[in-house]
Chains A and B, each alone.
Chain A
Amino acid sequence: MRWETQRLEKAKQIIKMYPQKRSALGPLLYLAQDKDGYISNESIVEISSLVGITEVQVQSVASFYSMYKQEPTGKYLLSVCKSISCEISNSSEVIESVKEFTGLSNNETDDQNLFTYESVECIGACGGAPAVQVNYETIEGLTPDKAIDLCSWLKETEPKVIVADELQEKFGGVKSFDWAIEDNTGTSSPVPGFQTYDTLKEKK
């Protein structure tokens, strides 16, 4: 399906921010993923014409970066960190409990299209290890039990907007540093919530 007018307009605005069109490729891939939950072939064709490079070039870049998904992603992308500080803080147990709850292996999505699970490398939350992200919103200081609570809460309430502060308060523990500033912004799709890309949402 072609991109709707609004998304095309956004794309053109983003392209204008850069001295060369191709620099907008990364942000446009996020627009694509916000639309479909992954980088669809239709989006590749669309982006190729917007940026002026071939479809193969678009795909070659998209496949390089782990945050651009090649397959449809569930409503909630669960990314559990397994890098060193988390590893030595029992992240493997958090990983096991998330896998058990969702029934998923690495990079799999469930049949209801609700959860995608992945184990990921360092997300910069080492002081609050072990840490998890839901749609790139960080929760620090998790335990295996709290991880299950988090997943079941997501399943039961299906929140429209994922907000780091809310999740941290409900399910988190020790933090890398005092977050201090209250924040009710987040994202509603498996891409980073960022105002320039119109993927930022506010929790009402």
Chain B
Amino acid sequence: MKETILLTKHMRENPEDSHSLKSYEKNGGYKAVKKVLKSGSPEEVLEEIKDSNIRGRGGAGFPTGVKWGFLAEDEERYLVINGDESEPGTFKDRILLERDPHQLIEGMMITCFAANISKAFIYIRGEYAKPARRVQSAVEQAYEKGYLGKNIFGSSMNLDIVVHLGAGAYICGEETALLNSLEGRRGEPRLKPPFFPAVKGLYNKPTLVNNVETISSVPWIMSNSGKDYSNLGVEGSTGTRIFSLSGHINNPGNYEIEMGSSFGEFVETLGNGVKNKAIKAFIPGGASAPWLRGDQLDVKMTIDDVANEGSMLGSGAVVMMDEDTNLVLAAKSLVSFFAHESCGQCTPCREGTTWLENILERVASGRGRISDIDLLLDVCDNISPGLTWPPKMTTICPLGPSATASIVSLMKDFRSEVEILLPKKVVIS
């Protein structure tokens, strides 16, 4: 198994200065947008994106071309790049921001041309200070060269880009919470309907919200073609994807691959395996995704295959847990994350995640009660009735329901690890 290098090509071949405009341009950068502005039409760009069948790389996997097609007519529309990457296990946007910011800017220019947008924002999580300043320097270079601003490349297109830092709230990765945050409000998700960003987004205007990796793919698609892109990968999961591999693995890192090979192959070849250990469980797509067992490593890494196993490919974060892992502590870490990051708007999430954290805490420390397994599942069922995947919602956004994923996985496949921590039954004679 080999990587297929599209998005990470320029940064790999020019390790010292891939962040600079000079290097990007020397290697064919900004050619795609020049071509589009000179002889293309917005409709043609939209067709190419639709032909590519690319699906959003943030986690939900919504077809990008369809999303663009939904954008309502208005004189004022916005593009917002979601660079709030905070899903535990995920660090793929970090590399794209840090090492190839011009690729993102070119992608944004093409997107804004296609959607007739003249003001765009890049929302980057506050903890990504270094990536954010690389992007800001790149934006400044682009302005200096006249690639941003008014009448870009002599065309009638104008575009301004503002880089905005978040301030430590995972929930702002949810697109409507991100928009609230960008408006200077608490990062609380909005109700959909009516607040579908494509209709009522930033400042109540139609807004495209796209992930960093998604928009970074646009220059390649336009330099080649939508069809070329869709020929990579498999149906329903076309193109390449950057997977972040971490946990108990010899070679952790970001790997750009075509979707379609198995997790096992990925781990053994690119990840160079797990040292003398068996894998007990793994997370196939970030903290929100239900776990898969070690014997499910033959599952193929596509959006649909992982969904068929009752989980999701999500943000592309693969976390390996070997046989020595204390899964109760792993679940507690995940649940604590959601309890900490709950915005507090919806009762099932705010109260439920805190309850789950407290119960797991006492189970992990050996102070659990015989009834705790039932109680954990009951609380999960109240947050997400039926404990299905994708989860049923009792809340405005999927954060709360996602918090149940690790607990349900633990109870379904590794129940004995919990049971062993609970008091043995007392027999009364």
Contacts and interface: CB of A to CB of B under 8 A. Distances in A.
A1 interface: no
Interface of B: 11, 15-19, 85-91, 94-95, 98-99, 119, 125-130, 132-134, 136-137, 162-170, 181-187, 203, 244-248, 252-254, 283, 287, 317, 319, 321, 325, 329-330, 333-334, 336-337, 340-341, 343
A177 B162 CA distance: 27
A194 to B, nearest CB: 6
Contact of A176 (B134, B169, B185, B252): B252
B254 A89 contact: no
B332 to A, nearest CB: 9
Given A30-B165, A84-B337, A180 B244 contact: no
B340 A180 contact: no
Interface of A: 17-20, 22-27, 29-30, 51, 53, 60-61, 64-68, 79, 82-85, 87-89, 120-129, 133, 136-138, 164, 174, 176-183, 185, 187, 192-197, 200
B19 A89 contact: no
A84 B330 contact: yes
A82 B165 contact: no
Given A64-B343, A192-B127, 10 more contacts: A29-B167, A67-B126, A88-B247, A121-B86, A124-B127, A126-B246, A126-B247, A192-B126, A193-B129, A195-B133
Given A85-B247, A181-B15, A194 B165 contact: yes
Contact of A64 (B163, B187, B245): B187
Contacts, number: 196
Contacts of A29: 167
Chain B contact surface mostly = mixed
B87 A122 contact: yes
Contact of A85 (B88, B168, B187): B88
Given A129-B246, A180-B99, A26 B119 contact: no
A68 B168 CA distance: 8
A163 to B, nearest CB: 9
Contacts of B127: 67, 79, 123-124, 133, 136, 138, 192
Given A85-B89, A122-B337, A124-B125, A176 B167 contact: no
A65 B187 contact: yes
A138 B252 CA distance: 17
Nearest to B287: A84
16 contacts: A20-B184, A22-B183, A22-B184, A30-B165, A64-B169, A66-B169, A83-B287, A84-B287, A88-B333, A122-B88, A122-B287, A123-B127, A180-B16, A185-B133, A195-B137, A196-B136
